[in-house]
């Protein structure tokens, strides 16, 4: 089964807790603190696997969790790092944060993507020894790993997309000009999944063509198979729009052409700007009057128009030559840029819970939602710093610190961030 969209939850491993331990050896009456640091939690990493062609595996498993880091040990021994969890996806998969719809990564290249970072390991008590605090009996816990609800959306990487109503000859064309062997039959929706074919132009020059299952009126609203496969047209550099020049099924080919284009624009207005080459198929069944009318319409509207009889490959070479020439003038296949998830998202979706502990005059504030905001704030940027300060006030953290008895100049610790309190 071809599946091109899936929703999953990914969670990185938590960092291991720091250890509270003291050196104990023969003839050493009072050894100092030697608790080791906790190990970093494993991250969730996405990787392209070219042997995969669908997202079907994600229909049966929806939650992915990386291992936690191990706690620290005595003797300054750090805990073992949690292994990264590798999730393999087909090339061309777009990863989005579900709530905002922001693009986290476009898995079109070979680069791995760390989608959820493992939590940092906590410090062991050896870090907290000072001249006035010789035997610290506390350590730092590890931080939680990141967690995301993400959607995976497969958008095929093809230079050329074949469009048209069902049974107009798209599959026949791709079978003639490439090594692809789609199922071909004289009934609607023979093609149930997109088919990719490589068209060789000789001397290392080639392009990828995609046979998109036939679209019909209402495709953008989910009628037929259109809603499932329109997304695969979005990356294409060029569209080859095939029509039934003979109107062999009682439809007007010009109306068919306009209806399909309306569906494209309804689905994504940017598709109106995609260049198109129009091909009239089944010319052996059409009258001269029909052929003249169609050619006149498309040439007057500024389209390159070709005719073919796909089963016998008549006219197909001229089409392929025109496609190759057009591709040489167009930009490369579209890549989706990463979009930043605003810090306001984490504040809006926060449960508002936090804890404040006081140890040796240090006020430690913790809260998973607060950590996620902190991870995405650039505290070297003035506006970002101002925003984080507003979060501390609006969430009630500042008021809670005052209730705990904090004084001006006391140290506030929020995970890796330390600062002096100023009322």
- How far apart are the C-alpha atoms of 222 and 218, rounded to whole Å? 7
Q: What's the average model confidence in pLDDT over 26-55?
A: 86
Q: What's the average model confidence in pLDDT over 171-195?
A: 62
- Which pLDDT does position 343 carry in this prediction? 63
Name residues whose C-beta falls within 8 Å of residue 190's C-beta, 6 or more positions apart in sequence.
Answer: 166, 167, 171, 182, 183, 184
> What is the band of 218 on the pLDDT scale with cuts at 50, 70, 90?
very low
Structure tokens at 230: 């329109």
> What is the band of 346 on the pLDDT scale with cuts at 50, 70, 90?
low
Phi-psi region of 415 (alpha: psi -120 to 50; beta: other; left: phi over 0): left
Which of 23-27, 186-190, 295-299 is the least confident region? 186-190
Q: 99-143: per-residue pLDDT in tens?
A: 889 999 999 999 999 999 998 898 898 887 877 777 788 788 888
Q: Which contiguous run of DSSP H or E holds residue 372?
A: helix 368-375
The pLDDT of residue 349 is above 70: no
> What is the band of 179 on the pLDDT scale with cuts at 50, 70, 90?
confident
Give the rounded percent of residues in the chain with a pLDDT score beyond 70: 88
- Which pLDDT does position 17 carry in this prediction? 92
Name residues whose C-beta falls within 8 Å of residue 161's C-beta, 6 or more positions apart in sequence.
Answer: 209, 210, 212, 232, 233, 236, 238, 239, 240
Structure tokens at 245: 């020049």
Report whether 391 contacts 345 (CB < 8 A).
no
The pLDDT of residue 222 is above 50: no
* DSSP secondary structure letter of residue 6: E
The domains found in the chain, sorted by start residue, are 1-154 (2.70.210.12), 160-327 (3.40.50.300), 342-423 (3.30.300.350)
- Which pLDDT does position 81 carry in this prediction? 96
Q: What is the largest CA-CA distance in the chain?
A: 108
Give the rounded percent of residues in the chain with a pLDDT score beyond 90: 37
Q: 243-276: per-residue pLDDT in tens?
A: 999 888 888 999 989 988 888 888 888 888 889 9
- How far apart are the C-alpha atoms of 42 and 60, rounded to whole Å? 23
Closest CA to 279 of 337, 311, 252, 239: 239
- Which pLDDT does position 188 carry in this prediction? 39
Q: 159-169: per-residue pLDDT in tens?
A: 998 888 888 88
- Which pLDDT does position 68 carry in this prediction? 97
- Which pLDDT does position 1 carry in this prediction? 41
> What is the band of 194 on the pLDDT scale with cuts at 50, 70, 90?
confident
Residue 71 CB burial class (10 angstroms; 0-12, 13-18, ≥19) = buried
Please indicate whether residue 220 or residue 315 has the higher confidence score (pLDDT): 315
- Which pLDDT does position 64 carry in this prediction? 96
> What is the band of 16 on the pLDDT scale with cuts at 50, 70, 90?
very high
Residue with the two structure tokens 């508002």: 352
- How far apart are the C-alpha atoms of 208 and 49, rounded to whole Å? 18
- Which pLDDT does position 214 carry in this prediction? 57
Q: Which contiguous run of DSSP H or E holds residue 105?
A: strand 103-107
- Which pLDDT does position 29 carry in this prediction? 53
Residue 368 CB burial class (10 angstroms; 0-12, 13-18, ≥19) = middle
Q: What's the average model confidence in pLDDT over 136-153?
A: 87
- Which pLDDT does position 348 carry in this prediction? 60
- Which pLDDT does position 224 carry in this prediction? 43
Structure tokens at 260: 């399909």
Q: Which residue stretches of 286-367 are H helix?
A: 288-300, 316-327, 343-348
- How far apart are the C-alpha atoms of 233 and 240, rounded to whole Å? 11
Q: 405-415: per-residue pLDDT in tens?
A: 999 889 998 88
In sequence order, what DSSP letters do the residues of 385-396 get, joined into one string? Answer: HHHHHHHHHHTT
- How far apart are the C-alpha atoms of 166 and 416, rounded to whole Å? 59
- Which pLDDT does position 228 carry in this prediction? 58
The pLDDT of residue 4 is above 70: yes
Report whether 164 contacts 189 (CB < 8 A).
no
Which of 47-61, 168-182, 183-197 is the least confident region? 183-197
Q: How far apart are the first and last CA of the chain?
A: 61
> What is the band of 27 on the pLDDT scale with cuts at 50, 70, 90?
low
Q: What's the average model confidence in pLDDT over 14-41?
A: 83
Report whether 294 contacts 243 (CB < 8 A).
yes
Structure tokens at 87: 């999730």
Average pLDDT over the chain, rounded to whole? 84
Structure tokens at 270: 């940017």
Q: In what order do the strands lie in the sheet with 411-414?
A: 355-359, 362-366, 411-414, 417-420
- Which pLDDT does position 14 carry in this prediction? 93
The pLDDT of residue 223 is above 50: no
Q: Answer positive or negative: Cα dihedral of 215, 219, 224, 230.
A: positive
- How far apart are the C-alpha atoms of 115 and 29, rounded to whole Å? 49
Please indicate whether residue 36 or residue 179 has the higher confidence score (pLDDT): 36
Q: 77-98: per-residue pLDDT in tens?
A: 999 999 999 999 999 999 999 9
In sequence order, what DSSP letters do the residues of 37-101 get, joined into one string? Answer: PPPPPPPEEEEE-TT----GGGGT--EEEPPPPPPPBTTTBPPPPPPPEEEEE-TTEEEEETTT-
Q: 326-340: per-residue pLDDT in tens?
A: 999 999 988 888 887
Structure tokens at 48: 């392209």
Please indicate whether residue 249 or residue 239 has the higher confidence score (pLDDT): 239
Q: How many CB atoms lie within 10 A of CB 341?
A: 17
Name residues whose C-beta falls within 8 Å of residue 38's C-beta, 6 or more positions apart in sequence.
Answer: 15, 16, 17, 18, 19, 69, 70, 71, 72, 78, 79, 121, 122, 124, 141, 142
């Amino acid at each position: 089964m071809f599946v091109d969209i899936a929703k999953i939850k990914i969670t990185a491993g938590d960092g291991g807790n720091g250890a509270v331990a003291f050196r104990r050896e023969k003839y050493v009456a009072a050894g100092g603190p030697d608790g080791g640091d906790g190990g970093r939690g494993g991250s969730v990493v996405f990787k392209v696997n070219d042997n995969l062609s669908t997202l079907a595996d994600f229909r049966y498993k929806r939650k992915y969790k990386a291992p936690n880091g191990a706690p620290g040990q005595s003797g300054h021994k750090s805990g073992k790092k949690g292994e990264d969890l590798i999730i393999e996806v087909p090339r061309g998969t777009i990863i989005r944060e579900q709530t905002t719809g922001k693009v986290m990564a476009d898995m079109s290249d070979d680069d791995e993507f760390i989608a959820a970072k493992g939590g940092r390991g906590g410090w062991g008590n050896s870090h907290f020894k000072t001249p006035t605090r010789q035997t610290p009996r506390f350590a730092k816990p590890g931080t939680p790993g990141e967690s995301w609800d993400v959607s995976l959306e497969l958008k095929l990487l093809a230079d050329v997309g074949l469009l048209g109503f069902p049974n107009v000859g798209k599959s026949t064309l791709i079978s003639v000009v490439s090594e692809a062997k789609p199922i071909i039959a004289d009934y609607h929706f023979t093609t149930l999944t997109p088919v990719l074919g490589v068209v060789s132009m000789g001397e290392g020059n080639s392009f990828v063509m995609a046979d998109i299952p036939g679209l019909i009126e209402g495709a953008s609203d989910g009628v037929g198979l259109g809603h499932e496969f329109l997304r695969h047209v979005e990356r294409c550099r060029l569209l080859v729009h095939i029509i039934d020049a003979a109107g062999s099924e009682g439809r007007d080919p010009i109306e068919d052409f306009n209806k399909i284009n309306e569906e494209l624009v309804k689905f994504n207005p940017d598709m109106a700007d995609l260049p198109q080459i129009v091909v009239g198929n089944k010319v052996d069944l059409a009258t001269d009057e029909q052929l003249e009318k169609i050619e006149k319409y498309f040439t007057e509207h500024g389209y390159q128009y070709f005719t073919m009889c796909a089963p016998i490959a008549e006219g197909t070479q001229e089409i392929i030559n025109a496609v190759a020439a057009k591709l040489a003038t167009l930009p490369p296949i579209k890549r989706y840029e990463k979009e930043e998830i605003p810090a306001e998202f984490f504040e809006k979706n926060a449960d508002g819970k936090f804890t404040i502990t006081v140890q040796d005059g240090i006020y430690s504030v913790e809260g998973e939602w607060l950590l996620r905001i902190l991870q995405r704030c650039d505290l070297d940027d003035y506006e970002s710093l101002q925003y984080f300060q507003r979060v501390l006030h609006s969430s009630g953290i500042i008021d809670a610190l005052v209730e705990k008895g904090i004084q001006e100049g006391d140290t506030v610790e929020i995970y890796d961030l330390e600062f002096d309190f100023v009322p």
